[in-house]
Structure 1
Amino acid sequence: MTDDLQSWIGRTRRVADEMATPLVRRMAALTDRSDVALDRGAVVPNHWLTMLFDDAQPQSQLGPDGHPSKGDFLPPVPLPRRMLGGRRLTYHAPVHVGDALERETAIAAITPKVGRSGAMIFVMLRHTITGPNGLLAVEEQDVAYLEAKRNAPAPPEKPAETPTAEWRDAWRPDPVVLFRFSALAFNGHRIHYDADYARDGEGYPALVVNGSVSTLFLFEALLRRNPGRQIASYEARTMQPVFCDRPAFLCADAPGADGARNLWVEKDDGAMAIRIKTRLT
């Protein structure tokens, strides 16, 4: 099924963007941050780069799920559903308000797998982000393509071992948070704002919380406890969806001897939904 897709490996695309003042102001509002300066040249939290470099494809080129149609830059994977399975990101320099930025994306690998819910294909994207003074960040994303929904639920997954939490904040993401982030990032994926489509089109019980939203709020909770610090690097893995208007917890353990620590979103049934290993500057 993937032999014809291998020829897509190595394809690249460049997108220009700007860390514009209105975007920084809106992200500060979304995260309840009053300590982020909006003056041109002011340092912006590194992890806010995730709101930039949207696809911005013409409306006529979107698929039924609200994503750009496959077969343009993304390979024509013959599976209908998609989600972000994981990401690894290292920041090399700070970003500032007003910086003109560029991201080069390369298709690094295409890998078929069989998961709990059937056939899957992972497309690894490697992003290289540069600014006025050179390299800013390098990121790898694992985009998972899944089979259409089934009537029978997937067999249960063995629960991940949950670390001992140093802190645990109650969190209940609501539709307004999901909408505002999707609007800010120009993310058209309907599972994050169209409840009827999420339920009837992809079989979810409610709106799905964007993995970038979970990551954003985990980092914000960590940085509130570490003022003046920045995220230096992180590895994230999505294990199961977080759903809108359901109680959850933002958690972290104590840093290890190497300075790394684990962050995770814990659902109300105790299951770990997303796990991040991160370091601070």
Structure 2
Amino acid sequence: MSESAASVEQDWHAWVGRKETIRELIAPDRVAALGATLGIAGNHAFGAPLPPGWHWIFFNRFVPRHELGTDGHPKRGGFLPPVSLPRRMWAGGRLTYHAPLTIGGEGVRESTILKVEAKSGRAGKLVFVTVSHSVTCNGTACITEEQDIVYREAAAPGSPAPPASPAPQDAAWSEEFRPDTVLLFRYSALTSNGHRIHYDQAYARAEENYPDLVVHGPLTATLLQGFAERRAGQPLKSFEFRGVSPLFVSSALKLEGKGDAQSLDLWASGANGALAMRAAAQV
């Protein structure tokens, strides 16, 4: 290992154990805005429980313009380690729900970097960062979560996308959801997500080699959690998910699953039945 490579790895390891705390009001108007964005009716008033996955619109830093990178994300460093690989995305996560967040309450998210790992795969060099989050509301423990973030090498211009795996064919339930550009723009705004692959088509195509605007991974995971609760008829106790391949705004997506009274096997698929996200839920 070269001296520069060793120093970078040392810098990454120095980030393990780093902590961050963010306090934020679980504002009813923000929750209602997400409901309107998704086209989901419900009780979004003061004192009502926050639906699963909706906490992702909170606890996100809205950094000054001069602190943004060319991709729209905050510049490297700060809480997360300064990994130099250019493409960053949310790869998956694991959540346990202890109690619902209360709309109108004071939420606190305490975050800790658990590990930073460098790997190599079909997509080239990869760095995985795992972050734990503990979310309370009005002093009550509500959510514990582990979030997996992956950094990747840039795709060569014109290079084909890796072959996608087919989604399972044995779904007991299925719903279709059709994203559009306004939905992606509004979800980006509500989550303080400036990543240009979600709203800047020219950037997504020319710089990150995607065929169209990319649907947010947390958005897909939120839709799957709502789908699971509707099918189970009970609140979720836990949910874990893994992104498999990207979804694009130009195609309808399917939310599908099967299971029993306690455990659900879930997935989302896109064009031509390609598997996009795999998930499991307990109720």
**Would the TM-score normalized by the shorter structure come out above 0.5?**
yes
Say which of 7, 18, 32 aligns to 2:14.
7
- From 265, 270, 275, the counterpart of 2:273: 270
1:18 aligns with 2:25: yes
Letter in structure 2 aligned against 1:221 = F
Q: Which residue of 2 aligns with 1:47?
A: 53
Residues 1:105 and 2:111 aligned together: yes
TM-score, normalised relative to structure 2:
0.91
Instruction: Confirm whether residue 244 of structure 1 aligns to residue 249 of structure 2.
Output: yes
**Percentage of identical aligned residues:** 39
Whether 1:235 aligns to 2:244 is no
Q: Specify every segment of 5 or more residues in structure 1 that has no aligned partner in the other structure, as ranges.
A: none
Q: 5+ unaligned residues in a row in structure 2: which ranges?
A: none
| Contact 1:36–1:44, Cα closer than 8 Å, also in 2 | no
- Give, as a single letter, the amino acid of the residue that structure 1 aligns with 2:198: H
Q: For residues 125 and 223 of structure 1, what CA distance do their matches in structure 2 show? A: 26
Alignment pair present for 1:32 and 2:39: yes
Instruction: Report whether the alignment pairs 1:125 with 2:95.
Output: no
Q: Is the contact between residue 207 and residue 243 of structure 1 (CA under 8 Å) also seen in structure 2?
A: yes
RMSD of aligned C-alpha atoms? 1.7
* 8 Å Cα contact 2:52/2:225 also seen in 1: no
**Deviation string for 1:113-164 (max 9, x for gaps)?**
112111000011111111213211111111000001214335536x366261
Q: Which residue of 1 aligns with 2:210?
A: 204
TM-score (norm 1): 0.92
User: Which residue type is aligned with residue 95 of structure 2?
Assistant: L
- Matched residues in 2 for 1:238 and 1:55: separation? 23
Aligned to 1:190: 196
SS in structure 1 of the partner of residue 237 of structure 2: strand
Partner Cα separation in structure 1 for residue 107 and residue 48 of structure 2: 15
**Secondary structure, counterpart of 2:81 in structure 1:** coil
Higher mean C-alpha displacement, 206-215 vs 3-12: 3-12
1:93 aligned counterpart, secondary structure: coil
Alpha-carbon deviation of 1:271?
1.8
Cα distance in 1 between the residues matched to 2:167 and 2:193: 32
2-side partners of 1:124 and 1:145: how far apart? 12
C-alpha distance in 2 between matches for 1:3 and 1:156: 35
